[in-house]
Amino acid sequence: MNSKDQIPAPHPQDNILLNATKLRIGYSKPELELGPRQGLDFELQSGSLTAIIGINGVGKSTLLRTLAGLQPALGGVVKILGNESDTLSARQQARQLSVVLTNPPASRNLSVRDLIALGRHPYTNWLGQLSALDEQCIADALKLTALESLAQHPCHSLSDGQLQRVLIARALAQQTPLVLLDEPTSHLDLHHKVRILKLLRDISRQPGKAVVFTTHEIDLALQLCTHMLVLFPDNYAFGTPQELIKSKVLESLFPSDSVTFDTVLQRFNIS
C-alpha cells in the first residue's frame, strides 16, 4: 500500500463508524442553510441501518452528500472512523465509505460487470489491474443484487430500476465500512424495494458495517431500519423507530389535513 493511502488509526470507540457534531448543512451560493441552525449531532454505529427522512426539499440529499464529503459543511464536524473527514485523501475516503447517488453515471457505455468493477478502483494499482480478490468482490456484488444474468449487458440498455441495482452493486464491491445511498429505492417496484432494503439491512449486519440512506419509503424504513433521522426545516430527531413513534415525531412530519401517522398500526394514513 502506498504510504499516502495508509488509513489513520481508528478511534478507540471503533464501533462508531460515523460521528456528526454540530453539523450544519446547506449552500453558500446562493446562501441557503438547511436543517437546524444549532446543527445535527448523531453517530452511526456498526450494525446500524439508518434512514434519513423528511419532506421534499428539506435537505436529505444535502445531508447525505455532506456526510459523504461531496460538499462542504456550513459548520461542525463529520468524523469517519474517528478521523475528521476533510483530513482524509480521496482514496482513503473511498476505502471507508461508498456512495450511491441518484444521478445516472457518466459511464453508461460500460457493461454491468465493468461498471461494478469500478467499485474496486480504490484498491487497484495504477494500471487498474484486478486481483483475484477484486474479481471475487465483483462476483459477490453481482450475486447479491441478482444481476448475474445481466453482467455483460451495456448499462445504457438497462431499465432505471436495473441501473439502480448496478450502482448499489458497485458500492457493495467497494467493500467499505460505511455505505451511503441517496434514494436507493426510488425507481424500484415494491418487490425490488423490499429486496434492496433487506439487502441493505443484511449488509449493515455484517461486522464493522453501517448503512445510511435517504428515502420517502417511511413505512418500509420503520419496519427495517435500526435508526431514523427525521429532518425538519429547523429541527431534527434521531433515534430508533420505536423511540420516534413514542415521541410522536412522525405525527408532525406532514400537514395533518393530508396525511396522519397511526401510532397503533405504525403507518401513515390519508386523512
Ligand X SMILES: Nc1ncnc2c1ncn2[C@@H]1O[C@H](COP(=O)(O)OP(=O)(O)OP(=O)(O)O)[C@@H](O)[C@H]1O
Interface contacts to ligand X, rule CB under 6 A: 27, 32, 34, 54, 56-62, 214
Of 21 and 61, which CB lies nearer to ligand X in the complex structure? 61
d(CA 9, CA 265): 45
Q: How would you class 127 by CB atoms within 10 Å of its CB: exposed for 0-12, middle for 13-18, buried for 19 or more?
A: exposed
- Find the farthest-apart pair of alpha carbons in the chain and give their distance in angstroms, rounded: 59
Shortest separation between residue 136's beta carbon and ligand X, angstroms: 35
CB of 154 to ligand X, least distance (A): 28
Contacts of 142 (CB under 8 A, 6+ apart): 112, 113, 116, 148, 151, 169
Of 136, 166, 171, the C-alpha closest to 151 is: 166
> Based on CB atoms, which residue is closest to ligand X, 138 or 197?
197
Toward ligand X, which CB reaches closer, 2 or 103?
103
Q: Which is nearer to ligand X, 128 or 255 (CB)?
A: 255
Coil/strand/helix, residue 131: coil
Query: What's the min distance (Å) between Cβ of 34 and ligand X?
Result: 6
Instruction: Enter the C-alpha cell of residue 164.
Output: 439502480
Q: How far is the CB of 129 from ligand X (least distance, A)?
A: 36
Residue nearer to ligand X on the CB measure, 4 or 29: 29
Name the residue nearer to ligand X (CB basis): 8 or 72: 72
Cα within 13 Å of Cα(143), Cβ side? 6
Q: How far is the CB of 45 from ligand X (least distance, A)?
A: 24
For residues 231 and 53, is the Cβ–Cβ distance under 8 A?
A: yes
Q: How far is the CB of 54 from ligand X (least distance, A)?
A: 6
Q: What are phi and psi of 92, to 5 degrees?
A: -65, -45
